Structure formats: C-alpha cells, structure tokens
C-alpha cells in the first residue's frame, strides 16, 4: 500500500525516533509498504518518520545509482546507530521526499561505521562509503529529527525560508501522495 509522505512541518519529522523490538506489529507489511511508497516517489531512501511513524527504521535502494557499493544497496536498517564517521568531507546535492523541489549541497564525511538490525532482526556492524554512506547519513538524520536543510549554509537556508513555508502549507507541485501539516 502506498502511504502518504509527510511534508516538512510535521512534528514527527523533528522528533528523535524510538527503538522498536522484534514483536513490533506487522513489521514486514510496514517495510513492504515503505518500499512501495519509496518507489512510487522515485526515492532512494525513506525513513519511518516520513510516513508519520516515530520509530528507528529506514530503508534504502540505490540500484539506480551507478557503481554504488554494495551493489544495489537495497537494505533495511532497524535501530541503527552510527558508531563513527571519518575520512574526507565532501559536498553533494541532496533532496528529500519530505521537501519536494528543494535541492542543496550538504557537506558530510565520506565514510562511516554503523550498527543496525536487518529485517530479520539480525545484528550487523558494517563500514560504508561514498553514496551508500551518504544515503545512510541522510536517512539516519531523519531518525534524529534532522532534515538536510538544517545542514546547508545559513545564507542558502535564508534564501529557502519562504519556499519551505510554502511546502509545509502544501503550496508545491508534487507528483506523489503527500500529507501536509498546514493545509
């Protein structure tokens, strides 16, 4: 089932999400719905707060990205914790399904180590770099109540202020199902 994507403006996007246990109700269905929702909006990552759930879960699929490692990067991250970020910082122009039509450079570390549980609640500790690390950092931020527009330059943020208010109010042209706090 395709779920509406919550736009910037909802408190759930600004809260620290909570860990879940393996008995979380209908977890498999939720993950399937999140994938369906993400594909319907052409996303490469989606975090649970973006569908209105304040839980520590995000999904990825980087198969549209050339040479991404690990190949395809289709993964489920539950209760993740970034243990370390390191190596060179780099700029990349990010976007977010909760902030349609906005793109801006975000500066992040190129490598990280993350501990998480997969959809079978098997624990992993893994290192990622490049675009996979970038997607993880963006989605992980969602679980911390952080949006990529918090990480852009103050000047750019000032320039975007009106646009972000318009998006929160639903004054934006978007091709996928969304939910707006102020409409």
Active-site positions? Answer: 139
- Ranked by CB distance to Ni ion, the top (closest) residue is 96
Query: In angstroms, what is the minimal distance from the CB of 148 to Ni ion?
Result: 6
Candidate ranges 14-22, 77-85, 89-97, 120-128; the one touching Ni ion (CB under 5 A): 89-97
Task: Please say which residue, 123 or 177, places its beta carbon nearer to Ni ion.
Answer: 177
- Give the x/- contact pattern for Ni ion in 102-121, rule: CB under 5 A: --------------------
23 forms beta bridges with none
Candidate ranges 9-17, 32-40, 88-96, 105-113; the one touching Ni ion (CB under 5 A): 88-96
Q: Does 5 bind Ni ion (CB under 5 A)?
A: no
Interacting residues of 33 by C-beta distance below 8 A, sequence separation 6+: 1, 2, 3, 51
Are 39 and 176 within 8 A, CB to CB? no
Query: In angstroms, what is the minimal distance from the CB of 132 to Ni ion?
Result: 15
Query: Residue 168 to residues 7, 14, 67, 96: CA-CA distances in angstroms?
Result: 6, 13, 35, 13
Query: In angstroms, what is the minimal distance from the CB of 144 to Ni ion?
Result: 12
Are 77 and 57 within 8 A, CB to CB? yes
- Stated as kind and residue range, the H or E segment containing 158 is helix 154-168
Q: Does 96 bind Ni ion (CB under 5 A)?
A: yes
Are 160 and 149 within 8 A, CB to CB? yes
Q: Does 48 bind Ni ion (CB under 5 A)?
A: no
Q: Name the region of 120 (left: φ>0; alpha: ψ -120 to 50; beta: rest).
A: alpha
Task: Please say which residue, 92 or 121, places its beta carbon nearer to Ni ion.
Answer: 92
Determine how β-strand 123-129 pairs with β-strand 178-179: unpaired
Task: Please say which residue, 96 or 112, places its beta carbon nearer to Ni ion.
Answer: 96
Query: In angstroms, what is the minimal distance from the CB of 95 to Ni ion?
Result: 8
Number of DSSP helices (H) and strands (E) in the chain, helices first: 3, 7
**Interface residues with Ni ion (CB under 5 A)?**
96
């Amino acid at each position: 089932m395709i779920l509406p994507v919550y736009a910037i403006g909802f408190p759930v996007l600004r809260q620290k999400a909570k860990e879940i246990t393996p008995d979380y109700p209908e977890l498999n269905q939720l993950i399937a719905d999140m994938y369906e929702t993400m594909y319907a909006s052409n996303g490469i990552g989606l975090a649970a707060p973006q569908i209105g759930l304040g839980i520590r879960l995000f999904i990825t699929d980087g198969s549209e990205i050339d040479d991404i490692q690990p190949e395809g990067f289709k993964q489920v991250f539950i209760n993740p914790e970034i243990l370390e970020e390191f190596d060179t910082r780099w700029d990349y122009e990010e976007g977010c399904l909760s902030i349609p039509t906005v793109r801006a450079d975000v500066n992040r570390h190129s490598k990280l180590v993350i501990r998480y549980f997969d959809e079978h609640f098997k624990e992993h500790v893994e290192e990622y770099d490049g675009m996979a690390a970038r997607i993880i950092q963006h989605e992980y931020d969602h679980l911390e109540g952080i949006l990529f527009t918090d990480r852009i330059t103050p000047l750019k943020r000032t320039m975007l202020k009106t646009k972000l208010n318009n998006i929160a109010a639903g004054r934006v042209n978007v091709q996928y199902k969304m939910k707006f706090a102020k409409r």
